[in-house]
Structure 1
Amino acid sequence: MSYTQLSQNATEGSVSTLLRMDTFNGHIEDIDKIGMYAATNQLQHRANEVRNTRINWQSYLQGQMIDPEDYDFMVKLESLSAVPEQRKALLEANSDQFARTFFSMLAKISKDQTVQYVLTLLDDLLQEEKTRVDVFKRYMEQRKENVWSPFFSLLHRQDGFIVNQASRIVAKFACWGSRLMEQTDLVHYLNWLNEQLRIPSNEYLQTVARCLQMLLRVSQYRQVFCDIDGIGTLANVLSGKVNYQIQYQLVFCLWCLSFDADIVARMKKYNLIPICADILCESEKEKVNRIVCAFFRHLLEKPADSQLTQESALAMVHCKVLKQVELLAQKKYDDIEHEDDLKYLVEVLSNSIHDLSSFDEYASELKAGRLEWSPVHKSERFWRENAIRLNERNYELLKILVRLLESSKDSLVLCVAAHDVGEYVRHYPRGKTVIEQLGAKELVMKMLSSEDPNVRYNALIAVQKIMVHNWEYLGKQIEEKQPAGGATGGGGSAAKPAASVNS
Structure 2
Amino acid sequence: MSAANVKNMIPQLPEENIDMIAATSVLQQQAGDVRQNKPNWQTYAQSKIISNDEFQCVTSLDGPERADYLQKQPSQTAKTLLNMISHITKDQTIQYLLVMIDDILQEDRTRVNIFHDYSAKRKQEVWGAFLNLLNRQDPFIVNMSSRIIAKLACWGKVMMPKSDLNFYLQFLKDQLVEHSNEYIQSVGRCLQMMLRVDEYRFAFVSVDGISTIISILSSRVNFQVQYQLVFCLWVLTFNPLLAEKMNKFNVIPILADILNDCAKEKVTRIILAVFRNLIEKPEEPQVAKEHCIAMVQSKVLKQISILQQRRFDDEDIIADIEFLSEKLQNSVQDLSSFDEYATEVKSGRLEWSPVHKSAKFWRENAQRLNEKNYELLRILVHLLETSRDPLVLSVASYDIGEYVRHYPRGKHVIEQLGGKQLVMQLLSHEDPNVRYEALLAVQKLMVHNWEYLGKQLEKDSEKPNQKPISGKA
TM-score higher than 0.5: yes
CA positional deviation for 1:26: 5.0
From 63, 66, 80, the equivalent of 2:47 is 63
Would the alpha carbon gap of residues 284 and 133 (structure 1) be closer, same or farther in structure 2, given more than 3 Å must change? same
Contact 2:133 2:145 in 1 (8 A): yes
- 1:282 maps to which residue? 261
- In structure 1, stretches of 5+ residues that fail to align are 1-20, 81-85, 476-503
Would the alpha carbon gap of residues 31 and 326 (structure 1) be closer, same or farther in structure 2, given more than 3 Å must change? farther
CA positional deviation for 1:224: 2.0
- 1:167 maps to which residue? 146
Q: Distance in 1 between matches of 2:254 and 2:314?
A: 24
CA positional deviation for 1:474: 11
CA positional deviation for 1:72: 2.2
Between stretches 121-130 and 443-452, larger displacement belongs to 443-452
Are positions 1:196 and 2:175 aligned together? yes
Q: Distance in 1 between matches of 2:187 and 2:440?
A: 49
Would the alpha carbon gap of residues 261 and 30 (structure 1) be closer, same or farther in structure 2, given more than 3 Å must change? closer
Are positions 1:54 and 2:33 aligned together? no
Query: What SS does the corresponding residue of 2:142 show, helix, strand or coil?
Result: helix
Q: Distance in 1 between matches of 2:30 and 2:13?
A: 32
Contact 2:20 2:186 in 1 (8 A): no
Between stretches 245-254 and 358-367, larger displacement belongs to 358-367
Name the amino acid aligned to 1:428.
Y
- 1:498 maps to which residue? none
Are positions 1:226 and 2:211 aligned together? no
CA positional deviation for 1:197: 2.3
- 2:23 maps to which residue? 38
Q: Distance in 2 between matches of 1:339 and 1:311?
A: 24
Q: Distance in 2 between matches of 1:229 and 1:366?
A: 23
Contact 2:20 2:189 in 1 (8 A): no
Query: What SS does the corresponding residue of 1:353 show, helix, strand or coil?
Result: helix
1:310-329 alignment runs, 5 A limit: 310-329=289-308
- 2:281 maps to which residue? 302
CA positional deviation for 1:311: 0.7
Q: Distance in 1 between matches of 2:156 and 2:258?
A: 36
Q: Distance in 1 between matches of 2:424 and 2:176?
A: 37
Contact 2:398 2:437 in 1 (8 A): yes
From 311, 321, 328, the equivalent of 1:332 is 311
Q: Distance in 2 between matches of 1:210 and 1:188?
A: 18
Q: Distance in 1 between matches of 2:266 and 2:320?
A: 13
Name the amino acid aligned to 1:276.
L
For each residue in 1:40-88, what CA deviation from the matched residue of structure 2 results, as whole angstroms up to 9, or x when unmatched? x2212221221111312122112211111222222233232xxxxx431
TM-score (norm: length of structure 1): 0.84
Contact 2:293 2:335 in 1 (8 A): no
Structure number with higher relative contact order (C-alpha < 8 Å, ≥ 6 residues apart)? 2
Name the amino acid aligned to 2:137.
Q
Between stretches 205-214 and 225-234, larger displacement belongs to 225-234
- 1:187 maps to which residue? 166
Compute the RMSD of aligned alpha carbons.
2.4
1:224-373 alignment runs, 5 A limit: 224-373=203-352
Query: What SS does the corresponding residue of 1:55 show, helix, strand or coil?
Result: coil
For each residue in 1:305-362, what CA deviation from the matched residue of structure 2 results, as whole angstroms up to 9, or x when unmatched? 1111111100000000111112112222221111111110010011001032222221
Name the amino acid aligned to 1:308.
V
Contact 1:99 1:135 in 2 (8 A): yes
Q: Distance in 1 between matches of 2:46 and 2:183?
A: 36
- 1:390 maps to which residue? 369
Q: Distance in 2 between matches of 1:326 and 1:31?
A: 31
Would the alpha carbon gap of residues 43 and 317 (structure 1) be closer, same or farther in structure 2, given more than 3 Å must change? same
Contact 1:259 1:302 in 2 (8 A): yes
CA positional deviation for 1:194: 2.3
1:150-165 alignment runs, 5 A limit: 150-165=129-144
- 1:479 maps to which residue? none
Name the amino acid aligned to 2:243.
V
Contact 2:256 2:300 in 1 (8 A): yes
For each residue in 1:132-190, what CA deviation from the matched residue of structure 2 results, as whole angstroms up to 9, or x when unmatched? 11011111111222111100110111111111110100000001122222233222222
Contact 1:318 1:368 in 2 (8 A): no
Aligned length: 447
